[in-house]
Amino acid sequence: MSADTGSELSASARRVQEAIEARGFDYRVFELEVPVRTAADAARAVGCETAQIAKSIIFRSHSGRGVLVITSGANRVDEARVAELLGEPIGRAEPDFVREVTGFAIGGIPPLGHATALATFVDEDLLKLPAIWAAAGHPNALFQLAPADLPALSGGHVAKVT
């Protein structure tokens, strides 16, 4: 793992690094030699448990809003529970919609720095962990953070989403 920062980062990862700094945090984005498109791949790459990977999943609400659910890599999102929290039905988002609302491609969706404001929910299970890792705008990019900072960093509401 290399600690690329600044101009060495890809454009997408640099946008995430800038968003982290704009929110007042000093976490550093890293880019790996190979893509880590799954939570298990990411966990192996950084040497943590799959549960410590914060997966960012985009849904589309019935009214067309983008909904971000950040969940533990070990968990599956309960779409009915998220719909109840949101107050309207949701469904999986198509890749074009994901790129439109986030500005990022599937496989590297970060918990912040999106193209549009998203309704955001943070899996309460993530807050029980000692440290977590999140995608940083590119399938090769990640950053480590303290779980307690995730709600402020993402603008998300902590909830049971699984």
Q: What's the CATH fold of domain 6-159?
A: YbaK protein (3.90.960)
CB-CB contact of 158 with 127 (8 Å): yes
Mean pLDDT of the chain: 94
Query: pLDDT band at 92, cuts 50/70/90?
Result: very high
Per-residue pLDDT at 49 exceeds 90: yes
Q: What residues does each domain of the chain span?
A: 6-159
Question: What CA dihedral angle connects 124, 127, 128 and 133, to 10 degrees?
Answer: 120
Query: Would you state the pLDDT for residue 154?
Result: 97
Query: Percent of the chain scored above 70 by pLDDT?
Result: 96
Query: Would you state the pLDDT for residue 117?
Result: 96
Query: pLDDT band at 37, cuts 50/70/90?
Result: confident
pLDDT tens sequence across 103-149? 999 989 999 999 999 999 999 999 999 999 999 999 999 999 999 99
Per-residue pLDDT at 5 exceeds 60: no
Instruction: Write out the E strands in 73-160.
Output: 90-92, 119-123, 132-135, 141-145, 157-159
Span of 31-45, 61-75, 124-138 with lowest mean pLDDT: 31-45
